[in-house]
Amino acid sequence: MLIPWQQLTAETLDSVIESYVLREGTDYGWEEKSLAEKVEDVRAQLQRGEAVLVWSELHETLNIMPQGAFDDE
């Protein structure tokens, strides 16, 4: 189920994004980004519609995924 990020409080959205960034383990190449920079990158992706919040009823988890994963639905 897609969850509109705009419906979350700023504090909750920050927590969701920080949790995602801390577990995703992406290699950013030669130049490492700070946690704050990674959080802002993800927030910008949500705002541009490139990423979405997805609630899994089966796992009872909230995740951030690329919008493209849902284009066919």
Cα–Cα distance measured from residue 1 to residue 24, given in angstroms and rounded to the nearest whole number = 20
Task: Order the strands of the 61-66 sheet from edge to edge.
Answer: 2-3, 51-56, 61-66
Asked if 3 and 62 count as a contact pair (C-beta separation under 8 A), the reply is: yes
- Per-residue model confidence as pLDDT tens digits over 8-49: 999 999 999 999 998 866 665 667 788 899 999 999 999 999
- Per-residue model confidence as pLDDT tens digits over 56-73: 999 999 999 999 886 644
| Whether the predicted model's global pTM rises above the 0.85 cut | no
Cα–Cα distance measured from residue 45 to residue 62, given in angstroms and rounded to the nearest whole number = 16
Q: What is the pLDDT of residue 73?
A: 47
Q: What is the pLDDT of residue 2?
A: 93
Amino acid identity at 20: Y
Asked if 72 and 50 count as a contact pair (C-beta separation under 8 A), the reply is: no
